[in-house]
Each structure stands twice: as C-alpha cells, then as structure tokens.
Structure 1
Amino acid sequence: MIRVFRVVSIAEAVSFLALLLIAMPLKYGADAEVGVQLAGPIHGVLFMAYVGMVFLVRDPLGWDLKRTVLAAAAAVLPVAPFFVERHWTRPPHTAGAPASSTP
C-alpha cells in the first residue's frame, strides 16, 4: 500500500508540473488546448487518487491528524507531493533507524 502511495505521489506531482509548465503555456501562448485536454483529466484522476491514498496510508505510516491534513493539502502545491513521498513515507518502526549494512 505504501509503495503504491509513493508511486501515486510522484505521478501526481509530475502531472501537475506538466499541466502547469507545458499544457497551460500551450493553451494560452499557442492557443493549443490539446495539452490541457490530455493532461487535465489525467492530473484530476491522479489528484483524487493521491488524496484518497493519503487516508489509506495514514495508519500504516503512523501519521497523526496534523500530518494527514498536511499531506492531503500538499496535493495543491506543485512539488509538495515529492516532499511527502521522500520524507514522510517510512513506516514508524524504520523512521529513525539507521540503514542496515550488509557485510
């Protein structure tokens, strides 16, 4: 479940950036709506999947209400899901543990 959330987090952030940095400039700069017509629905589905997944992974990750709300709110900032995926997706029992080395 956590692995799926991490993938959805990255996909949502990438789709948001594509919408903002590629599709929207094409729409308003070149009068080409095809980018928004393609990227918009894809981003919409990924946005809803991300927010839904936040609530599915909150218990396995040991998130309190504040962290859950912040993770859900991260969906409205273009690069915030990258932060959530990178820094908040370790299960509680490994969050502070150093990485084990194999001899």
Structure 2
Amino acid sequence: MLKIFKVTAILEGISYLVLIANMLIIKSNNPELYHTIVRPFGMAHGVLFIGYIILAVLLKKPQNWDIKTFVIILIASLIPFGTFYVEKKYLSNNA
C-alpha cells in the first residue's frame, strides 16, 4: 500500500500543478476552453486528493508516523510541491 501512496502523492502533486497552470493560463486567455480542459483536471485532482488523504490515514499506524509527521503529510497535500516533499522525505526511505 505504501507504493500506491507514493504514486498517489506524485500524481496528486502533478495534478495540482497542472490545475493551477490551466486555471491561470487557459481561463484568463480563453474562457471557452475552461469547461473542456480545466474541469476534467479538477475532477482528477479531487479524486487524487481524496485518495491521498485516505491512504495517509490508512498508513499512519503501519508506518508508525507520530502526530507531527502525520499532520505534515496531510498539510503537504494543500501546498503546491508539498506532496513531492513528502515523497522525498518520508516515503523514499521506506521502500
């Protein structure tokens, strides 16, 4: 399950960055493309975000994360590039 969490963390981070870029570039330049491009990325990001949180909760006990580590992992999902930090710092050594 840790491997799935690693992949989800990376994909969630990528989807977050793609979503932000699309919202900044496409919506401001071409509002018609908003519904065809940004919406599907938003849905994918939402599903990946929920999966990230659920997997983090499920892995808290097996990985022996203390409350500080667990909160950092959860907050990282809200910050751009945060999930990349989590994958590098907390998940790379546990492979």
TM-score by length of 2: 0.88
Query: Are the equivalent residues in 2 in contact too, given 1:5–1:53 (CA < 8 A)?
Result: yes
Identity of aligned residues (%): 30
Q: What whole-Å deviation, never above 9, does each CA across 1:44-88 have from its counterpart, x for those lacking one?
A: 000111111111111222210111111011111110100101110
Q: Distance in 1 between matches of 2:24 and 2:53?
A: 23
Q: 2:45 aligns with which of 43, 46, 60?
A: 43
Larger Rg: 1
Task: Specify the code of the residue in structure 2 equivalent to 1:65.
Answer: I
5+ residue gaps, structure 1: 95-103
Q: Which has the higher contact order (CA 8 A, sep 6+)?
A: 2
How many angstroms does 1:23 deviate by? 4.2
Q: Distance in 2 between matches of 1:81 and 1:4?
A: 14
Length, aligned pairs only: 92
Aligned residue runs from structure 1 range 12-31, under 5 A: 12-31=12-31
Q: Distance in 2 between matches of 1:59 and 1:81?
A: 19
Q: 2:61 aligns with which of 59, 62, 77?
A: 59
**Aligned-residue CA RMSD (Å):** 1.5
Q: Distance in 1 between matches of 2:79 and 2:63?
A: 22
Higher helix proportion (structure 1 or 2):
2
Q: Distance in 2 between matches of 1:19 and 1:10?
A: 14
Aligned residue runs from structure 1 range 53-92, under 5 A: 53-89=55-91, 90-91=93-94
Query: Are the equivalent residues in 2 in contact too, given 1:13–1:78 (CA < 8 A)?
Result: yes
